[in-house]
């Protein structure tokens, strides 16, 4: 999806999907979205990433849901790695207004 408005609408929609509806493939796709962003400051990337992290936070807290267990077991380490990579790149980013 090249359009930021569409990306933002998609992740906003996913944010409203019940956690029980997420299967392994869908969770993997959400995780892959994190690594697809190279320029954090471009367009509405920050908002899209924020929504993705909100979804992942809900999955982390879903102790009884199979999707939450699946996320923590299969994708937890990769999600942490991607999040740290984004934080490092964001810290290195040069902004006009300090």
d(CA 98, CA 82): 25
Q: Alpha helix (H) ranges present in the chain?
A: 4-15, 24-36, 45-61, 66-70, 76-92
pLDDT digits (tens, 9 = 90+) for 7-16: 899 999 999 9
Q: What is the largest CA-CA distance in the chain?
A: 45
In this prediction, residue 53 carries a pLDDT of 94
Alpha-carbon distance 58 to 52, whole Å? 10
Q: Which residue has the tokens 């380490």?
A: 77
pLDDT of amino acid 1: 54
What's the pLDDT score for residue 64?
Answer: 84
User: 71-82 pLDDT, tens per residue?
Assistant: 999 999 999 999
- Report pLDDT digits (tens) over 40-89: 778 888 899 999 999 999 999 988 888 999 999 999 999 999 999 999 98
68 vs 64: CA distance, rounded Å: 7
């Amino acid at each position: 999806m090249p359009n930021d408005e569409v990306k933002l609408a998609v992740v906003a929609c996913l944010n409203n999907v019940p956690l029980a509806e997420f299967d392994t493939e869908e969770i993997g796709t959400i995780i892959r979205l994190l690594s697809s962003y190279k320029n954090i400051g471009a367009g509405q990337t920050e908002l899209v990433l924020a929504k993705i992290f909100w979804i992942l936070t809900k999955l982390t807290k879903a102790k009884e849901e199979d999707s939450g267990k699946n996320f923590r077991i299969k994708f937890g380490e990769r999600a942490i790695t991607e999040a740290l990579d984004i934080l490092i790149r964001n810290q290195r980013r040069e902004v006009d207004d300090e």
